[in-house]
Structure formats: structure tokens, C-alpha cells
A and B are shown apart, each in its own frame.
Chain A
């Protein structure tokens, strides 16, 4: 079976790359869009180590050519199945590849997670419990709005460097993701350095453009 790492416009040399479980990485498919995969006898167990091995391959691809990161955990049974997916989604993959190119993403996010209010004790009345839960939820909504505003203010001067931007909900709360061309990374970092000491907001990156490649392709049965 084939574990997918991402999608590229071939040809692209990947002979020097190893992926999950040290498996060699190869390109399956032909122009205009191909998949980057590794072969496995069984579905590799899902571990942090494997997820990070996957991330390393994705990052290496982005440094070589326009590529779209695949989400970790996509396994297709064989090359015909890969070919079927590629044939059915050539246009959308090409469009996404042209849009993202070799750009990277940075994220402006909070330094810490937006606080989740503790659950109220269940030893009081039902009404008191529900009122406490409601108050907690309202407090969290206010905290999220404040975080969002802080991020928006901090990222405003950085938006000029971005070719695209997206707001997403990340593990620590809202994130403002900015797609930055590689040629503009140095200037972006210089501008972002003004946030070094910001007590609330942090800028992370560069990452492969995962957020801007959040595309769902239709699955098709291979012949």
C-alpha cells in the first residue's frame, strides 16, 4: 500500500528522501500532477515519530519544487488507485499547485491557549450548574474575541507580505495564517521581529503551506 505525502508537478528527484519507517520515497504518476508516496506492506502504526517523519518529507518537497502537503494518514492500496485519484482531480491539484507554488506559511497566534473555564461543581442545584456553565462559556467567548482582536492588530502590518491569508482555529485558539513567497520571507521576518516581545501574540513558521492546501479530493474506485 502507498502512503501519500503530497502532490507535485513531476519530474522531481526524491531518491534521497526516506519517509515513515525509513521507507524510500518515490513519485507515482506523470505530468502534470503526481503523488509522492512510500510503499508499505502493512499500514504503518500511527505514532508521533511517523507523523514527524511525514512532516520532514513534506518540508523537503516544499524546498525543491511547488508542492501540496498531504494530510498525514492517507493510504491508498496501489498505483492504480493513486492514478485514479490523480486523474479525477488533475485540474484542482494543478490550480492549487499554481496558487501555492513554493510559498510557505507563517501563523500569528496566541502564546497560550485561550482559557477554558473549569467545569462547575455538580453538587449544587441543576439550575446553578447550568448558569455557571453558561457564564463560563460567555467568558470564553469574550476571551476568544479579545485574542482574535490582538492577533488581528499584530498581524495587520504583516498582511502586506502575504499573497493569501486565512483565519483558522488552531490548538491554541484562533490563528491568522499568512502565505508568504519564499523571496519575501526575510522581509517578513524582519517585520515580524517587532512582535518578539509581545506578551500575547507569537509568530510561528515557516511551515509548509498545509493550511492553504486544505483541499478535499474526491475518492474514486480504481478499475
Chain B
């Protein structure tokens, strides 16, 4: 049952992909998917957002949100 490589950075199927893109895949799942409890104490949400934004900025062409 354990033929799988442990996460957090699984291989992509196919040719190698940049670490940055795979990192985005990992963090998107860790931060934005999975079981959540409503009304729980969430680690500084702003901090999570900052990580997420920072990872997005790593990718070419991913723009920061437009400031008013």
C-alpha cells in the first residue's frame, strides 16, 4: 500500500515541473482544502493569506491584487 512517495512534494506525472509550481500545488491544498471547523481559532488568517500571496508571486504572470 505504500508505493506512494510521501508528500509534501509529490512527483508530477510526466516531465519535471518547477519546484515553485509544485509548491503552489502543495500550499493550495494545505491552506485552502481539507476538513475545516467553522468558528474555530484559525492561525492568523492574514499570515496565511500572506504565504499564499507570496507563493503566487513566485509564479510568472501571477499578479498581486490590484490596489485601489
Question: Chain A: residues with CB nearer than 8 A to chain B?
Answer: 1, 4, 6-7, 43-48, 51-52, 54-56, 58-60, 62-63, 68-77, 85, 93, 96, 102, 104, 106-107, 111-113, 115-116, 119, 168, 170-172, 182-183, 185-186, 189, 192-193, 195-198, 202-208, 210-211, 213-219
Contact = CB atoms under 8 A, between A and B. Distances in A.
Contact of A171 (B5, B34, B56): B56
Given A69-B33, A210-B33, A218-B39, 9 more contacts: A51-B31, A63-B4, A71-B31, A112-B61, A116-B63, A168-B33, A193-B14, A196-B15, A203-B13
A43 B48 CA distance: 13
Contacts of B7: 55-56, 58-59, 62, 206-208
A73 to B, nearest CB: 4
B51 A71 contact: no
A215 B8 contact: no
Contacts of B32: 71
A76 B40 contact: yes
Chain A interface mostly helix, strand, loop or mixed?
mixed
Contacts of A47: 47, 51
Interface of B: 1-8, 10, 12-15, 17, 21-45, 47-48, 50-51, 54-56, 59-63, 66
A44 B2 contact: no
A98 to B, nearest CB: 14
Contacts of B12: 202-205
Nearest to A50: B43
B59 to A, nearest CB: 6
24 contacts: A43-B43, A46-B47, A52-B27, A58-B7, A62-B7, A63-B6, A69-B35, A71-B33, A71-B36, A73-B43, A74-B36, A74-B37, A74-B41, A77-B41, A104-B4, A112-B61, A113-B59, A119-B66, A185-B3, A196-B13, A197-B15, A211-B29, A218-B38, A219-B38
Nearest to B17: A202
Closest 5 CB pairs of A and B: A59-B7, A46-B47, A219-B39, A55-B8, A210-B33
Nearest to A109: B25
A59 B8 contact: yes
A185 B27 CA distance: 23
A206 B3 CA distance: 11
A104 B35 CA distance: 15
B24 A171 contact: yes
Contacts of B36: 70-71, 74, 214-217
